[in-house]
Structure formats: structure tokens, C-alpha cells
Structure 1
Amino acid sequence: MTTATDAEGTQQATMQLCYAAAAGDCLKVKALLSQKCDPTRGDYGGKTPLHIACANTTDGQEVVRVLLEHGAEVNVTDNLGQTPMDACRQDIASRAGSFAVKAMLQEHGAKLQREEIESRARASCLQQHKARAGLVNLQYWQKQIGKTLKSAVHLANWKGTVVVVKCAKMHQSNMVLGLHYLVKNLRKSRSLMGASPKRAYGEEDDDSEVSEADITEELLHEIQLLASLRHPDVVLFLGACLHPNYPIMFVSEFMGGGDLEHFMCNMREKHQVAAWKPPLWRMVDWSCAIGRALAFLHGFAVPIVHRDLKPLNLLLTKNLDLKMTDFGISKMMSTMENEQHTMTGGVGSYLYMAPEVVRYEEYNEKVDVYSYGLIMYYISSGKRPFHHITLDPEVILQQYCQKKEPRPLISDCPKILRGVIEPCWQTDKFLRPSAEEITVQLGAVAASRGASCDSCSTM
């Protein structure tokens, strides 16, 4: 029978092996393995020594080789669902080292992300068999309505309905072939699922290089997650093309009002004012929609953290109803009992990042609540967060890194909303309210103004 002392000794040995792998200390790794230290065991976050070594491709190639020779598992996932291959792809310091490590992993049976996702998609009936899918009446319009570093977004017509096609940004010739394939063989889901076109209608500067592997990984992750989501406040996903010979693409509903960031900007220009804000009932309505979507994501037994919540990822219908989009970098937490994890640096948009993200600290779903609070500030004040300090987001990042705690001016917001918004950016993340608690508070605000806000309650 295993005693508590034995378990503690095993965990200590695992941590020593993880530390050695992180340091790229091959001699130490070999010494620990010679003492029968198990290379398949993970740390508190489920990361095995192989995960850690793969993330350190500058100094860790030899460590990876040694771990693989001693039976390290190549397709094991940590508490966030990441494999050693995923950890390897996050490394950008040494492309050559990254490719070498990927090759070693594949030689030992590591599955490519596309193969793994397609396997899961087929198992969950995301895709129907080609023979049963039939022809889909999808007419591609030669009109691009948005782009990011990793994808391009186009309008199309599907069975008489205007939809959005989000395509992986690869070589143009492949794009044309992929669109032709999508016209003839769009593989639809058997049920409608919640979803997103990434940064669907806002555009970003295409000023850096992104590998096709990175593009593939993020879009496949997004499609996989969409298979499990459906909610009225999340943009609706309709189908996807996962054929291995063509760029990845998927179809979602068209949100005619565009993204919230550009809508607010257009209203400022229209009214010729420095700061435009909607009427109070609209502030509450939009804030409720965000809260309901977050309560839905955070309410899973394995909570989903959006991690990139910002006005560009909130889309409006032609009637100005708001829905959440862009799950490309969202993550599933392991359990509520094991609720703290370390965020990958650089994830999310600087201006709306929680301080713990910038500082590489442990986090939970409350990083979304922090971003939610800043968005409510933006909606209710019409001003960018931290405008009184700087217009450069990096200045705020630097202050966070210096352990400073800058916050927006709550006095810019209507008095009736200040008690809802300000707690969202508490320094202690555990003191921030949940998304569900915020929607209840917003419902009370609406009721106090004599308005009906049944929709503010969570689904």
C-alpha cells in the first residue's frame, strides 16, 4: 500500500525532474531517471517533464531525446489540454530547435494537431460522412470584410442567408481551391453550435509573420471548442471544412452591426464628439449579454476561459444585439478544485489584460471578469480605459510589471453602474465577482429604473 510519505517522495522526485527539464540540465535528468523517477508523471498543472522540455527548445532538445528514450508519453495532455507538441509550438525563440523537437515527437508517435482534432470531430459527429453531407448551396462572394494575422473573413450566401466564411490565411492558390471545396463539400454539424469568426469584422495590421502551423493550430482549436458550445449570446457556428488538402475554414452567422470597437468609433465620428456612449438601457443590455455569455462559459464543470475578451471580439446584429466571438485562444480549466494556472505570456490584447496575465502569475476565470469590467467601463463612459494615464497600452503593462495597480476613472461612469463595474478590477482576483453575480446586479439596476430585464438573468 502506498503511504503518504511515498506519495510525497514521488511528487518531490517529479518536481525535481521538471525543474531539470526546464533548466535543460541533461545530466541531472539522466541521474533522476536512473533512480527510477517516472517521466510520465505531471506537476500540479499536469505538465510532464516532456511538456516542459519541449517548451525549452533552445536548450532542451537533448533532454527531449532522453525523456523519449525512457518512455515519456508524447500524446499526454496537461490540465489545460495541451500536449508536448502544443508546448513545442509555443516556442518562438528557436525555430530550428522547435522543428527538431517536433520531428522527434512525431517519430515517437505524436499526433499532428489536425489529425487529433479531426479524429475528435468525427467522434463527436461534428462532421458527417462526405457521402451524406451532400452539396451545400454556398455561393462565395469576392468580398473580404476583415482580416487578422492568421485568417481572412469573407461574406458568402448559404441557402439564401448571408453568412461569414473565416479562412486560414495561407497561399492564395490554396485559398481558391479551399473555397471551391467548401462550395461542394461543406461538412455541416448535426446540431447548431455556438461560435465565432475570429476578430470577424475588425482589421489588424498584418505586420508580422505567422507560420501555417500556428494558423492551423489556432483555427482547429477554435473549431473543436465550438463543437461543445451553443448559447444565444455567442455567435452561431454553422459548419467547417477540415479537408487536409485545403485551408481550414468555417462558416458562422453574419453580424451586420460589426464589432463594438468600430461601432463606438463610428458613433464618435457621426456625432463629432470625443467620447460617445449609448443610453443607459443599452449599456445595461450589452453588459448583460456579455455577462450571460461569460456565465455560460465559466459555468461548465470544466470552466472555459475566453482569455481575449475585448470590444473587437463583441459583435453586433443589425438590430444592435450583442454577441461574443473569437475562441481561438480560449482554454478549458481542469477542475474547479484545481483552479489556478499560469497563463502563456502575450495572450490577449494588452489594454484589456488582467495584471496577473502580464506578470505571468497564476490565474483563473476571473481574468475574464477583469476584462469584462474594463469593457463595461468603455461602454458606459465612452472612453478608453486608462485614458487619463496614457493612450499607449504598453505603459500600462510596464506599470503592472512594476507591481503598480493603475485603474480607470470610475467617476467617468454613471453612478448607478459604478458599484457593478469597480469590483471587477479588484487587485485580488478572488474578490472579483462572478459573471453570474454581475448579471444579477445589472438586472437589479434595470429594475430600479423601471425597465424589464428578464433577459439579464443567466440562462
Structure 2
Amino acid sequence: MQPQMIDLEGPYRLLYCSSKGDKDGVMQEIQKGVSPNLADYDKRTALHLASCEGCTEIVDLLLEEGADVNSIDRWGRTPLSDARSLHHEGICKKLEARGGTDPVELDSQNPCYAIDRMEVDMDHSTLIGQGSYGEVYLVKWRGTAIAAKTIRSSIASNHRDLSAFMKELALWQRLRHPNIVQFLGVLKSSDRLIFLTEYLCNGSLYDILKKKGKLDPSTVIAFALDIARGMNYLHQHKPHAIIHRDLTPRNVLQDGAGHLKVTDFGLSKIAQEKDAYGYKMTGGTGSYRYMAPEVFRRESYGKSVDVFSFALLVHEMFQGGPSNRAEAPEEVADRRAYEDSRPPLSSFVYPIAMKTLLQECWHKNPDYRPSFEDIITQLELIQESLQKEKAMEIWRRCVIL
């Protein structure tokens, strides 16, 4: 991977000197206050370029100056990825000693588990829904009911989109948590791209609310804890957090034991670029009705976008559905983004602590939203308080009788 043409004026001189092995030039730029983590348009840092060109002294210097050993460029490559691909073994050892990782190699070593086409009878499958990328079918695999999700041809036929999608599946394959839907593998030798997950017999949170309407507070808290624990696992994933970006009632499923699991990471991305929020991403993806204001405005955003969506899910569980269901989703998102519109929180419906938590979760400033770890702690306290109130009520009834 060759370095691009760099303007020799200004701070980008650091990148040029690093690629050329100019130690004095690199030191001059750092002494001027230029960050060793400065990156070009392709997010390639000085350490990327020095590792690519085999400039050992520059690698040593940049690491001593605090360069991020695992900075990731727009292709998902770290400095170690570059050093390995060009066989700079000495630099590889230095980067590894500093904790350097190679996500490109990890992806190649962990391809999606392939399941033989003959093991899954798609001819006798049952259509059970629509996913983010195509239809979802109920099928049998080795005597077990599982879900088969087909991928639209517009994605499967595009090599770039397909490659990105398969990387998402390879990531999902490595996730293990009680509140995350388990990915099983992809069908090989198929005329369609089909991936398989565990089947959750009770449907989605959307189905539950449509059937039952609003839920009692104890059930809401239990469900909210299930979702928060799954999301906390994703956000604390190492080496990079996983942002779901499409947390909606349809993407939360219920198993036979009544617990909820988060699914469908087709729109999620590995958060790669650190900034004041911890991570930086841009773009307008996800579902409008559950979209954080900063995403709708196409601003930089991070993990807290999932916290915003989570608050709306909890609100719907108390209400039995969205309070603004008569409005077009895009209009709802627009008012939230530009008028700070939020759903109503009646004190007769929401416990005071829950009301406060939801207001924090959908705060207009992403910095003020709590992490899912904090949310779990608060929900557990609310759950404990409700249980005490319920026990006290039972005791009062017994005394009266």
C-alpha cells in the first residue's frame, strides 16, 4: 500500500518524513507540537507509513512519542497489518511488543463457519419475517429449528458490499453472551447468500407489544436489563467497541424462557476512530423513529446513539408502542434533532427513578448520556425498589385480612 502524495507544508510534513525515514524531520515536527497520531485522508498515520516502508528508527521514535500502535486506516489495517504484508519482521516484533494487533489477519484466520447446503432443507422452509437485508425463514438443521436469513441480490452480487457484510458476520460469529442472538454460520454451495442464527420462538419485542400492549413496570425493568446487558457486552467488546446503530423493537427477540436477546448487526460497525466521545463515526443509518439526533444531523457520533435508541424502546414498553405512531418516522426524527422533541413522561406511569434515567438516556448532548454499565446499575436499583414495594403491598393486604 503506497503512501499518497503529501503536502510538505504544515503538519502533514510529519507523514512525509515518516514514510521517507527522515528521523530529523520527524523530530522537528513533533517538537513543533504536531501529534504523532496525525492521519491523512485515508486515516493512515505516520506509524502506518513508517511500518509500511520498513523505517525501523522512525517506528521506534513514534512509539516513544506515544503513537497509537493500533490506529486503523480506512481499509481496517493497523501498522502491524502493513508491516506483516511487506514482511518487515523486525518492525512486526516491535509493534507486537507494544500490544499491536492485526485485524486483517484475524479476519482471514476466522472465516464464517460454512454449513453444507444439504444439511438445511430450504425447500420446506417457512417464511417468518423480513430482516434488514432480506427474508427470514424457519428451517431445520440437524433436527433443530433455526432461522435462515437470506441476503438480497443487490448486496450479494456487489463484491465490495458482500465483503463488508461477511466481515460483519465473522465478527458476529465470535460474540458470546446470553443476551445476544447466536450466529451459527453461512450456507455454502448456495445460489443465494444465506446465514443462519438461533431461532427465538417468541418473536420480537415489536410482536410482543403489538399483541400485549403496554407492559407492567416489573416486566419492563426485566426486559430493559436484558437489552442493556446485551448492549453493554457489545460496547465493551475488545479491541474495539461494537455500535449496533439500529436498535429497534424488531431487532430484539425473545427466547422460550422469556428473556430478550439483541440481534441483527448488519448495520453495526466496529468503532475505529477515537475522539472526544471515545469513537467517531458519521453517516445516516438505522431506523428514523429510533435514531439519535446527531445521526439524523449527520454529525460525528459514538456509542451513546445506542443509549438514545434504548430509551425509546423502554418508553414504548411502558406505553405499548410509540407515542407518535401517527407521525411519519422521518418527521419524528427531524423534530428530535432540531427541536429537542422527546416523548412525554407521565409521573402516573413512570417511576421517578425511571423517568430520570430515560431523560438522561435521550439527552441532547451525547456526553451526558450514561453508559450501559451505568444503566444496568440504575435499573437494578429500580428493580430492587419495585420488589420491596410489591412485598410491602402484599404484607399490608395480609394485615388487613
Give TM class, smaller chain: 0.5 to 0.7
Please state how far the C-alpha of 1:139 moved relative to its aligned partner: 3.1
Matches within 5 A, 1:85-100: none
Partner residue of 2:310 out of 357, 372, 376:
372
Structure 1 320/391 Cα, relative in aligned 2: closer, same or farther at 3 Å? farther
User: Per-residue displacement from partner, 1:191-217 (whole Å, max 9, x unpaired)?
Assistant: xxxxxxxxxxxxxxxxxx996457624
Matches within 5 A, 1:285-324: 285-301=222-238, 302-324=240-262
Partner residue of 1:392 out of 322, 325, 328:
328
Structure 1 47/256 Cα, relative in aligned 2: closer, same or farther at 3 Å? farther
CA–CA distance in 2 between the matches of 1:148 and 1:278? 25
CA–CA distance in 2 between the matches of 1:135 and 1:393? 39
Structure 1 155/219 Cα, relative in aligned 2: closer, same or farther at 3 Å? farther
Please state how far the C-alpha of 1:435 moved relative to its aligned partner: 0.4
Structure 1 149/164 Cα, relative in aligned 2: closer, same or farther at 3 Å? closer
Structure 1 50/343 Cα, relative in aligned 2: closer, same or farther at 3 Å? closer
Please state how far the C-alpha of 1:125 moved relative to its aligned partner: 6.1
CA–CA distance in 2 between the matches of 1:153 and 1:230? 22
Q: Is the 8 A contact 2:183 2:196 kept in 1?
A: yes
Partner residue of 2:345 out of 407, 410, 414:
410
In the alignment, what sits opposite 1:124?
110
Q: Is the 8 A contact 2:209 2:321 kept in 1?
A: no
CA–CA distance in 1 between the matches of 2:243 and 2:183? 19
Is 1:231 the counterpart of 2:172? The answer is no
User: Per-residue displacement from partner, 1:348-377 (whole Å, max 9, x unpaired)?
Assistant: 100111111111212111111111111111
Structure 1 443/400 Cα, relative in aligned 2: closer, same or farther at 3 Å? closer
CA–CA distance in 2 between the matches of 1:165 and 1:296? 24
Q: Is the 8 A contact 2:112 2:166 kept in 1?
A: no
User: Per-residue displacement from partner, 1:99-156 (whole Å, max 9, x unpaired)?
Assistant: xxxxxxxxxxxxxxxxxx997555126547xxxx889743333322223463222111
SS at match of 1:164: strand
Structure 1 380/142 Cα, relative in aligned 2: closer, same or farther at 3 Å? same
Among all aligned residue pairs of Structure 1 and Structure 2, give the percentage whose two residues are the same amino acid: 26
Q: Which runs of 5 or more structure 1 residues have no equivalent in the other structure?
A: 1-7, 18-42, 53-70, 72-77, 85-116, 172-208, 268-275, 453-459
Q: Is the 8 A contact 2:186 2:196 kept in 1?
A: yes
Structure 1 259/436 Cα, relative in aligned 2: closer, same or farther at 3 Å? same
Q: Is the 8 A contact 1:303 1:336 kept in 2?
A: no
Q: Which runs of 5 or more structure 2 residues have no equivalent in the other structure?
A: 1-6, 17-34, 45-52, 54-69, 77-102, 390-401
Structure 1 277/134 Cα, relative in aligned 2: closer, same or farther at 3 Å? closer
Is 1:147 the counterpart of 2:94? The answer is no
TM-score by length of 2: 0.67
CA–CA distance in 2 between the matches of 1:236 and 1:330? 16
Q: Is the 8 A contact 2:135 2:149 kept in 1?
A: yes
Matches within 5 A, 1:43-192: 48-49=40-41, 82-83=74-75, 121-124=107-110, 126-127=112-113, 137-140=119-122, 141-148=124-131, 150-170=133-153
CA–CA distance in 2 between the matches of 1:425 and 1:143? 38
In the alignment, what sits opposite 1:428?
365
Q: Is the 8 A contact 1:45 1:341 kept in 2?
A: no
CA–CA distance in 1 between the matches of 2:13 and 2:362? 36
SS at match of 1:362: coil
Q: Is the 8 A contact 1:121 1:127 kept in 2?
A: no
Partner residue of 1:263 out of 190, 208, 219:
208
CA–CA distance in 2 between the matches of 1:438 and 1:376? 12
Q: Which amino acid aligns with 2:343?
A: P
SS at match of 1:286: helix
CA–CA distance in 2 between the matches of 1:393 and 1:431? 25
Please state how far the C-alpha of 1:421 moved relative to its aligned partner: 1.6
From the CA coordinates, give the structure whose radius of gyration is larger.
2
Is 1:382 the counterpart of 2:327? The answer is no
Is 1:325 the counterpart of 2:263? The answer is yes
User: Per-residue displacement from partner, 1:62-106 (whole Å, max 9, x unpaired)?
Assistant: xxxxxxxxx9xxxxxx9676439xxxxxxxxxxxxxxxxxxxxxx
Q: Is the 8 A contact 2:243 2:268 kept in 1?
A: yes
Structure 1 259/163 Cα, relative in aligned 2: closer, same or farther at 3 Å? same
Q: Which amino acid aligns with 2:185?
A: G
CA–CA distance in 2 between the matches of 1:340 and 1:158? 41
CA–CA distance in 1 between the matches of 2:364 and 2:169? 34
Q: Is the 8 A contact 2:131 2:149 kept in 1?
A: no
Please state how far the C-alpha of 1:330 moved relative to its aligned partner: 0.9
What is the RMSD computed on CA atoms of the aligned residues?
A: 3.9
SS at match of 1:364: coil
CA–CA distance in 2 between the matches of 1:378 and 1:365? 21
226-235 vs 216-225, greater mean Cα deviation: 216-225
